[in-house]
Structure 1
């Protein structure tokens, strides 16, 4: 009978261990679950927020806005500064070189291919040969992209280059940029780049005529050049 009692004791032992496990307090189990939940929670949102604050997070690096440096104001007697713009062919043009060989008419429009700007641009187109005969080149300057300028140039058969200044750096230096807009105007530079006349603001129909009148008044010195 003794061996049977020993066997009974050995089989009962696992049941006692199981009872101890199941008797663990419920709050301990919940604590374990909460710890696991926090450890496995996704961290994408936190990294994104940190990156937005500019801490150098790799998942979404902060994007810095690049602003072109400002130019000094250009007044009567000042010369064209060295500043790179794009023409309608998306080529770089240094405005300081525009008046190296001839005088320059630089007329500014608020927006390409709009009624008033088209009237002004076509006015310069129609008397363009007169400016050329007086040893002056004509350029249109606006904040439009080169692609829009090229389309407008083709549409209206504009014979002169169109210059793009999207951040209005040169436009502002000329005194024609205000509140994110371009004031209709024109500026006349003699050979060598010195500003000798400006009209700001000016009406679309008047701009070409007034520019030609002023250039004609310079005819004797222009002919000597």
Structure 2
């Protein structure tokens, strides 16, 4: 998993808006990049809605928010529409971004081991460098924790 001080790895993927996002996008200011397992599932919905509910505070402070999962653009569009999410979602169908950030690995859920996206968040500074890493998050509390940690 990337750690504080690491540079964002080179990548190019599609946003739900149809635009392309690259590692250079993060040089335009501070960004939150959060990885989540699947659109419209209970924990992922709680996390996305927590970011939605605090979006105006992040935006006012110039912080961009990007959610990342392997879901398709179509799935992202439905998820955004259903919950009125005001920030872009990145489609990572081959998990290249999740793997580059270290947000893909073995998980243990109810005693069953599997591989998947590890719910994690990265705060990226305007130089494209990781400022803070949240390797394990509580979906419903996470947005508030970031606001507190960044003193926003």
TM-score normalised over the length of structure 1:
0.61
Is this contact kept in 2: 1:99–1:191, CA < 8 A? yes
Relative contact order, CA 8 A, sep 6+: which one is greater? 2
1:172 and 1:207 map into 2 onto residues whose CA distance is 22
Alignment of 1:85-124 (within 5 A): 85-94=13-22, 96-124=23-51
Aligned residues: 144
1:150 and 1:86 map into 2 onto residues whose CA distance is 12
Higher strand proportion: 2
**Larger CA deviation: 96-105 vs 124-133:** 96-105
1:123 and 1:184 map into 2 onto residues whose CA distance is 14
What CA deviation, in whole Å up to 9, does each residue of 1:87-136 have, x standing for no partner? 11343221x12222210001111100111100000000000111112221
Find the partner of 1:184 among 110, 119, 126. Answer: 119
Is this contact kept in 1: 2:72–2:93, CA < 8 A? yes
What's the offset of the Cα at 1:205? Answer: 1.2
1:84 and 1:188 map into 2 onto residues whose CA distance is 19
1:123 and 1:183 map into 2 onto residues whose CA distance is 18
Higher helix proportion: 1
Is this contact kept in 2: 1:109–1:182, CA < 8 A? yes
The structure having more radius of gyration, on CA atoms, is 1
Structure 1's unaligned 5+ residue stretches are 1-72, 220-225
Alignment of 1:27-106 (within 5 A): 74-94=2-22, 96-106=23-33
1:208 matched to which residue of 2?
A: 143
2:84 matched to which residue of 1?
A: 157
TM-score normalised over the length of structure 2:
0.88
Structure 2's unaligned 5+ residue stretches are 107-114
2:130 matched to which residue of 1?
A: 195
